[in-house]
Chain A
């Protein structure tokens, strides 16, 4: 059935200084899966938020089943027009229970004699979750759930409202492979039930697998529409970015690996038990199913989380009892929550760049030389192509990719020996990803021990020189050089763990 469900005509949305969505005219037919791809800032999420009622378009029209609809909010989108959305950012309330989170917008429906019937609430939530094979205790506070459980909960919520139009924005990021398969099954089911699914993702492999039609956004405009079956990965990338090949995104792997720089032994705590070493010129990656401890391990080594272990830098034993120790030894940790843990959003770009290495621009008394600060900041901005109107611009106005470039690039100012990074390119567009990869590769070449936690398969295959697969806090497999293939990685994820 090819009946049109929703279409847009010249939808435009502007934010101060930028056209986030520029004259987007698209048609979505029932029973199809659409994907939207494009770089960060290309307008995908904004477009999704307009469709789902969170933003109001500045210009243009939206038609649902042929009739024009005007100015609806998110609740109306869900109720009246059956448009549900699972956002990229989490929308669950951590201090409230699963059941309450399920129905927060519509709790009024559960009134019995004027009071909310929690029994009804919990029963309904339980049933919905069971129907989708999700195993969560409805009484638990959401903050106690794992990130993949929370994402599945958001799914269940969206599906409960029996949407005709389901928007999924970068939803597979926190999910392990088996859950991703489950999601794909639901998407296909929805398609069979003649619903519309709008799948926004950076993961081109998934996009190619799922989509009937792929829409490419570039700079807020619709840059192209292609049939899913007719396109190849390389063509897609070219439409998005201008790069010819996937391989061009990643820098060359290391040709020579030197001696050991950083060694970790007997790292124990919180279910983790592992050891590894990082050699000169080598980029080491930790990978595995969500919850296996990769991120934990890095945070433990850096001293954020208490642990026990022996650490050796250049074959000399060092003590890392706290973040202060780690920092003093020349260690740097790049968190995947840059807004919360790495950036000073209401400070200038210059400030964000210089703060970690501020002692370098000062004399022995601690008095700063402003010219030195400027010099250092200018250097980093130009070296890493950070797009900012000026050094004094507040960091909060930078795009995601440029923010991350600030976080990673400023490491160059410090005398670092070890760099630990947790998903350093998560959520970034391809151009920014490439730049980050190049930065990290440069650092590795300079003799800095680079250990990263990666979760995206293409990254794991193409970026590091050696991969350690983890499960349940322990290393279960090691792949190096040509052994690093998608097949082997997935095998390690699913087969090796049962050994």
Chain B
């Protein structure tokens, strides 16, 4: 019996963010009646799909010890590309978007892993590049997104976006399985945790890191498709808030910023926490600006947690 209890304790400590999520929901439920309704929770999950794609993408890259500042810009890019090209060909424009995603991922990965340039700076430069291209494609928000495409992705049944839930689950399952149960995923942890040792072991660390960046961009492209389905236009700046939120989600989810540790499920939970906060603040009619104070305070809390963890480690 104590073995089972012991295992539960370990699970709880590994996935403490899920625990945090539950606590947050209970807390919100008390202060905002109606928060815990099926409709609302469903809405939160639907709303989070895009952020989840970006956060999981960011998580993969951060696990390798890197950083991806292009996550938001890729989402914007996908909406812009689709909004311009869908008039010509729906399928074609989707293919172009995906190819662009792979290309950008490759560029990021090549510069960061092969040329060994600081990932923060590489993705910062590429982000500038993509933002510029977005503005050329779509100087102002607009364009046209095919409705059949949007409906197929969202799959609205009885007022609920079932398609989004499916996407949410698909993303979660895909990333969790990849990172925990596939060789590539374990290699990401190894390379991120101790790259020089991985090299000594004969692991092709550059290939692993490059693929991580490509994967990140592909996940963001997927998120971008959903963004296009949601807003039904192209917008060069729509992805910017998502970058910031993806970083927050990854940090809140306990992924170590130096690489090597952090569970995907925690990132998923952290994403939901962040979405829930926005939803909750909206629910209790808080003025938009307090969101900033809240987020700032949240980050300070995260900082304190860091301190506490650091102190415990030193003992």
Other than the given A95-B193, A116-B186, 13 more pairs (CB < 8 A) read A87-B200, A89-B196, A89-B200, A91-B201, A93-B189, A93-B260, A94-B194, A96-B190, A104-B187, A104-B203, A107-B183, A111-B183, A116-B183
Q: Is the Cβ of A78 less than 8 Å from the Cβ of B202?
A: yes
Q: List the A side residues contacting B260 at CB < 8 Å.
A: 93, 95
Is A92 among interface residues, defined by CB-CB distance under 8 A? Answer: yes
Looking at A69-77, A126-134, A243-251, A459-467, the stretch in contact with chain B turns out to be A69-77
B266 to chain A, nearest CB (A): 15
1/0 per residue, CB under 8 A from A, across B198-234: the answer is 1111111000000000000000000000000000000
Q: Is the Cβ of B202 less than 8 Å from the Cβ of A74?
A: yes
Is A15 among interface residues, defined by CB-CB distance under 8 A? Answer: no
Is A361 among interface residues, defined by CB-CB distance under 8 A? Answer: no
Q: Is the Cβ of A93 less than 8 Å from the Cβ of B203?
A: no
Is A220 among interface residues, defined by CB-CB distance under 8 A? Answer: no
Kindly state the separation between the CA atoms of A87 and B194 in the bound complex, as whole angstroms: 15
Kindly state the separation between the CA atoms of A95 and B189 in the bound complex, as whole angstroms: 8
Q: Residues of B with Cβ closer than 8 Å to A?
A: 177, 181-183, 186-187, 189-190, 193-194, 196-204, 260-261
Q: Which residues between 6 and 26 of chain A lie within 8 Å of chain B, taking CB atoms?
A: none
Which interface residue of B198, B200, B201 has the most chain A CB atoms within 10 A?
B201
Q: List the B side residues contacting A68 at CB < 8 Å.
A: none
Q: List the A side residues contacting B197 at CB < 8 Å.
A: 89-93
B177 to chain A, nearest CB (A): 7
Partner of B181, one of A94, A105, A115: A115
Closest to B259 in A: A95
Q: Is the Cβ of B177 less than 8 Å from the Cβ of A115?
A: yes
Which interface residue of A54, A73, A78, A96 has the most chain B CB atoms within 10 A?
A96
A151 to chain B, nearest CB (A): 14
Can you offer 27 A-B residue contacts whose CB atoms are under 8 A?
Answer: A53-B202, A54-B199, A73-B204, A74-B200, A75-B203, A78-B202, A89-B197, A89-B200, A90-B197, A91-B197, A93-B193, A94-B193, A95-B260, A95-B261, A96-B193, A100-B186, A104-B186, A104-B190, A104-B198, A104-B201, A105-B203, A111-B183, A115-B177, A115-B181, A115-B182, A116-B182, A116-B186
Assuming the contacts A74-B202, A78-B202, asked whether A93 and B183 have C-beta atoms less than 8 A apart, the reply is: no
Q: Residues of A with Cβ closer than 8 Å to B?
A: 53-54, 73-75, 77-78, 87, 89-96, 100, 104-105, 107-108, 111, 115-116
Q: Is the Cβ of A54 less than 8 Å from the Cβ of B202?
A: yes
Kindly state the separation between the CA atoms of A94 and B197 in the bound complex, as whole angstroms: 10
Partner of A116, one of B181, B198, B200, B204: B181
Kindly state the separation between the CA atoms of A291 and B186 in the bound complex, as whole angstroms: 31
Q: List the A side residues contacting B202 at CB < 8 Å.
A: 53-54, 73-75, 77-78, 105
Kindly state the separation between the CA atoms of A105 and B200 in the bound complex, as whole angstroms: 11
Q: List the A side residues contacting B201 at CB < 8 Å.
A: 74, 91, 104-105
List the 9 shortest-distance A-B pairs measured between CB atoms, nearest first: A74-B202, A115-B181, A107-B183, A75-B202, A91-B197, A108-B183, A91-B200, A95-B193, A95-B260
Kindly state the separation between the CA atoms of A93 and B187 in the bound complex, as whole angstroms: 11
Kindly state the separation between the CA atoms of A95 and B192 in the bound complex, as whole angstroms: 10
Assuming the contacts A108-B183, A116-B182, asked whether A54 and B200 have C-beta atoms less than 8 A apart, the reply is: yes
